[in-house]
Chains A and B, each alone.
Chain A
Amino acid sequence: QVQLQESGPGLVKPSQTLSLTCTVSGVSISNGNYYWSWIRQPAGKGLEWIGRMFPSGSANYNPSLKSRVTMSVDSSNNQFSLKLSSVTAADTAVYYCASSNTGMGAPLDYWGQGTLVTVSS
């Protein structure tokens, strides 16, 4: 079974870059059958998909965040990461990482428990 765990600073200053890592266990992150996604949820609001990594190493991002987002994979540590630049208070949220099979119509099936990131000076 796939397990995911988010990690990273819980507090980031405005205008700085938010950096989070998702450690994957139960499957190799290089397994070509999975996409690796980031999702966030501001307090009291709904879920927002940030983007995903493809097995090829490319990514596609939510257009609403695309100009500020970079995702990457670290195969040696079985991790993938998220960087969000020029953060503001609106980026304060619980951030989740999740996996999905590459099959047609496959859901985001396994999720981490989330990590709260607060943007504040």
Chain B
Amino acid sequence: QSVLTQPPSASGTPGQRVTISCSGSSSNIATNHVHWYQHLPGTAPRLLIYRNNERPSGVPDRFSGSKSGTSASLAISGLRSEDESDFYCAAWDNSLSDVWVFGGGTKLTVL
């Protein structure tokens, strides 16, 4: 059971806009930055969004992030077939002990 809650799957057709949610609590998302990763099995997870809504260099502006209260979202516009992968949210958690916590991952299918 992951500390952050994501839908297990999402889908869209090429060109569409898709959003993936990430729900947490007062000890993680509400008080710390949210980061998003794109992951293809067998490869290194790729940082997609950091500090809620910032993009590392090289990440297209089709990807955007937002945060409000104890929830965050990743939006992908102009969906492409190469976007088909797993997406994870992450945040620092200050509850009992300082730890990184993650969502369970959302598998995005491009129909």
Contacts and interface: CB of A to CB of B under 8 A. Distances in A.
B79 interface: no
By Cβ-Cβ distance, the 3 closest A-B pairs, closest first, are A49-B100, A107-B35, A46-B2
B102 A107 contact: no
Interface in B48-102: 50-51, 56, 88, 90, 92, 96-102
Interface residues of B, number: 26
A120 B53 CA distance: 42
Interface string A39-61: 10000011111000000000010
Contacts, number: 59
Given A96-B45, A113-B44, A46 B102 contact: yes
Contacts of A49: 99-102
Given A46-B102, A47-B102, A113-B42, A63 B97 contact: yes
A49 B102 CA distance: 8
B106 to A, nearest CB: 11
Interface centre among A47, A60, A96, A114 (most CB of B within 10 A): A47
Nearest to B51: A105
A26 to B, nearest CB: 13
A46 B103 contact: yes
Interface of A: 4, 37, 39, 45-49, 60, 62-63, 96, 98, 105-114
B45 A111 contact: yes
Nearest to B43: A113
> Which of A45, A49, A60: most chain B Cβ within 10 A?
A49
B18 interface: no
13 contacts: A46-B102, A46-B104, A49-B99, A63-B96, A105-B33, A107-B50, A107-B51, A110-B44, A110-B47, A112-B44, A113-B43, A113-B44, A114-B42
